[in-house]
Amino acid sequence: MSEQKTSTTSDFSHVCLEIEFETVEQLQMEILRLRDELIGAAAELGELRARLNAPVLNAAAAQTKTAVDNSQELVRRIADLERRNQQILASASWRVGNLVIRPFSFVRRMFSRGS
C-alpha cells in the first residue's frame, strides 16, 4: 500500500501526511467506539442496578462494581484520546496536509481498489 502511494507522488512530505491522516482516521473511529462503549456501560449499569432492586441477585453487585470501574477507565481513556485528537487536528501539518491530500483522494481510491 505505501509503495503504491509513494508512486503517486514524488513529494515525500505528502506520503508522511497521508500516514498521519490515516492515523487520525483510525483514532477518530476509536473515539467513536469508546464513546459508544462509555454510553453502553452506563446503560448496562442502569440495567444492573435495576436488577439489584430484585432481592435475589447478589451476583449483580459484583458485576456493577466491575462496570463502574470499566466506566471510569473508559472516561479516562476517552479524555486522553480526545485530547490527542484535538492536538493532531490543531496542528499545522494536519491542516495543511488535509488540504493537500484531498485532491489525491480519487487516485488513492483507484490504487486501493486495485490492491
Partner 1 sequence: MPFFSIITPVFNTPRFALEECIASVIQQTDGDWELILIDDASPEQWIAPYLRELEQRDPRVKVLLRESNGGIVAASNDGVNLATGEFIVLLDHDDLLEITALGRVRQVLESDGSIDYVYTDEDKVNEAGEFVDRFNKPRWSPERLRGQNYCTHLSVIRTDLLRTVGAFRAGFDGSQDYDLILRVTEQARKIVHIPEVLYHWRVLDGSAAKSTDAKPYAYPAAVKAVSEHLERLSLANDVHMDDQMLIQRRPTLENAPLVSVVIPTGGTVRRVWGNTVVLVEQCVRAVLERSSYPNIEVIVVADAGVANDVLERLDERDEVTIVEYSRPFNFSEKINIGSRYCNGEILLSLNDDVIPVNDDWLEHLVMFFEESDVAVVGPMLLLEDFTIQSAGHFFHRGVHEAAHARSASESGRFGLLNIPSERSSVTFAAAAIRRSIFESLGGLNIDLPGAYNDVDFCNKVVMRGMRVVWTPHSQAVHFESASRSPDISPSDTSRMSARWASQLRGPDPYLRLFDLEMSGLSEYDEYEQWLRIEPDSGPLLRPSLTSVPTVSPVHPRLTHSYSD
Query: Which chain residues interact with partner 1 by CB under 8 A?
Result: 25, 28-29, 32-40, 42-44, 46-47, 50, 106, 109, 112-113
Furthest C-alpha separation in the chain: 70
Q: Which three cell numbers stand for residue 31?
A: 473515539
Q: Per DSSP, which regions of 1-115 are E strands?
A: none
Q: Which is nearer to partner 1, 6 or 105 (CB)?
A: 105
Nearest distance from residue 32's CB to partner 1, in Å? 4
Nearest distance from residue 47's CB to partner 1, in Å? 6
Q: What angle in degrees, to the nearest 10, is found between the helix axes of 59-90 and 92-101?
A: 80
Q: Which is nearer to partner 1, 13 or 79 (CB)?
A: 79
